[in-house]
Structure 1
């Protein structure tokens, strides 16, 4: 463990899902401790239960603050909010677990705002449980945006050979088309450009999806949405020196990007961007919230209630999310 390594806060997510298990699986890998200083914000007793399920012999150590943390391999340190019972049923939606998942994230944001941690990595929460607890948000991204006072943000998905950033996400398709406008499209192009530049891309190559089949094919499909909603944004970005192409047909664009023609795709709506990423491998996908004042990465899968408690959940996405958090986190001197 290097003292210059970033401090990564891992939130436990919904305790009835696979979050505790994939955390304890991921923290069995010494390489995680070699690249960062990880700790968990959650419920220590559920981590202990998960350790028994996945065969992690590490000690779960309760800490009140990061001043007490040693970040040593073989120990999983937990800021223990003590919100859930040790025998919380697996795979069941509950307001109790939904509220706890919200509180873990709230605590992580507090620590980030205080400059105590360098990035947040989130295990999955359950939207229905979240709503049952009275926290009416579509997901992690919107909670993070509100609690950090961020207005210009976007969801970015990263998988091997493909990065996708979204203009709209958790709304219906008809509502998404209404919400797409030149200002929002330009904002997302700029977020993509700035994020990749910070990650070391000298001149990111950005490709923008159309809305209609064949990107409208010069008015043949749709009602001129590409010309009205996308083209002005692309032109503005180009005038600023951003290397951006589009609008382009989505049916071939993702293939072209995996081939190496572009560094990132700007998708117009949720399934347009999520589908191709998840085809490439659900376990290896990482969800990154772009535009926040803090780095946040996440697994790109849900709570998997159907397999919770069985010890078979794959921790690959969480390990990739931790690595992405390390890569994007500001360097300590």
Structure 2
């Protein structure tokens, strides 16, 4: 995977073409710093990109249509058609065809990642409803990629400039969270987080805060026993190995006092415990990164936003951050030669 003479190649899956995915992708790629640093390849369809170029009056967005990754042009934005016929683009409307195209986009990019033709992946938002079928239970990008790359485990890692929040339980119903908060899982996620902070973010000796599960972090067993019986022993085990792991902290007080600024990583017990503060504090610049995979994958921290699709009001900040974060992570591992 060495493109020593070129910039790193970044694959972007288009997600749902009837949401804001194409809009935020196009607007983000119009930042002229990006083409100086990376070569983007959008897995989509030229007709869909042309539709939004006209519809959103983004005349400055130019792309080169290529049939496969082998035809890549390193000074342009490349678009690969992932389906023969482009579905009708209907901003704000959920269709089965746009779901099929979103999945085709992801599968095509996964193949090119496995063949080491692209160096990192940014996934634009898709809609799980129109991808799910009798043959495929699609829970989310994180789980789908974890399975595609035969990984035992991975971690949803929400990343912003001064905050990184990982989850013990990702897309798990709240009724099943307690059963999934085990010592084994906490230790697995802490291992993934430590490795990622060192290798992906270049932090030699990461400081990690672990949040409690119950209100007031259980209040010494008064409001729940998970902290005493499960979380504290896991923290102690890592501390005994010389790692800087602290907690468990009560989530409300932790974020209320802005303690996230004092740590390199935060391990939340479940989805909303981590994502509500994250999106409140970093919605326009936050990035979803999948830690623990053999490849680099980021995405914006928002969804398809059908309600504003095609209205030219979507904010591309999170998508731009996802692109630059992917670049930063792969640069942490390799020395790229800038184009002259």
TM-score by length of 2: 0.92
1: CA distance, partners of 2:74 / 2:180: 44
CA contact (8 A) 1:5 1:35 kept: yes
Aligned to 2:185: 184
2: CA distance, partners of 1:13 / 1:167: 26
- 1:277-316 alignment to 2 at 5 Å? 277-316=278-317
* Shift in Å, 1:203: 0.6
Alpha-carbon deviations, 1:39-75, whole Å to 9, x = none?
1111111111112214143333221222322232xx4
* Shift in Å, 1:177: 1.1
CA contact (8 A) 1:161 1:257 kept: no
Aligned to 2:14: 12
CA RMSD for the aligned pairs?
Answer: 1.9
Matched, 1:63 2:87: no
* Shift in Å, 1:133: 7.9
Alpha-carbon deviations, 1:145-190, whole Å to 9, x = none?
1111112101010123211000001122120111110111011111
CA contact (8 A) 1:13 1:104 kept: yes
1: CA distance, partners of 2:237 / 2:283: 35
Corresponding pairs, count: 330
CA contact (8 A) 1:145 1:151 kept: yes
CA contact (8 A) 2:91 2:306 kept: yes
* Shift in Å, 1:258: 5.0
Cα 1:285–1:246, aligned 2, differ >3 Å: closer, same or farther?
Answer: same
1: CA distance, partners of 2:252 / 2:194: 23
1: CA distance, partners of 2:104 / 2:241: 41
- 1:112-131 alignment to 2 at 5 Å? 112-131=113-132
TM-score by length of 1: 0.93
CA contact (8 A) 1:14 1:125 kept: yes
Matched, 1:327 2:328: yes
Q: Which runs of 5+ in 2 are unaligned?
A: none
Matched, 1:151 2:152: yes
Cα 1:91–1:133, aligned 2, differ >3 Å: closer, same or farther?
Answer: farther
1: CA distance, partners of 2:312 / 2:233: 50
CA contact (8 A) 2:14 2:43 kept: yes
CA contact (8 A) 1:285 1:299 kept: yes
CA contact (8 A) 2:198 2:206 kept: yes
Cα 1:2–1:59, aligned 2, differ >3 Å: closer, same or farther?
Answer: farther
2: CA distance, partners of 1:112 / 1:244: 34
1: CA distance, partners of 2:93 / 2:134: 14
> Comparing 229-238 with 262-271, which one deviates more in the overlay?
229-238
Matched, 1:215 2:217: yes
* Shift in Å, 1:19: 0.8
2: CA distance, partners of 1:310 / 1:259: 35
Q: Secondary structure at the match of 2:221?
A: coil
CA contact (8 A) 1:120 1:297 kept: yes
* Shift in Å, 1:84: 5.3
Alpha-carbon deviations, 1:74-132, whole Å to 9, x = none?
x4211111355363211111222112111111111111111111110010000111125
2: CA distance, partners of 1:253 / 1:263: 14
Q: Which runs of 5+ in 1 are unaligned?
A: none
CA contact (8 A) 2:63 2:77 kept: yes
Alpha-carbon deviations, 1:179-220, whole Å to 9, x = none?
110111011111111111111111110000000111111111
Aligned to 1:90: 91
Aligned to 1:266: 267
* Shift in Å, 1:135: 3.1
> Comparing 254-263 with 18-27, which one deviates more in the overlay?
254-263
Cα 1:313–1:229, aligned 2, differ >3 Å: closer, same or farther?
Answer: same
2: CA distance, partners of 1:140 / 1:80: 20
CA contact (8 A) 1:28 1:56 kept: no
2: CA distance, partners of 1:157 / 1:192: 11
Q: Secondary structure at the match of 2:231?
A: helix
1: CA distance, partners of 2:294 / 2:61: 33
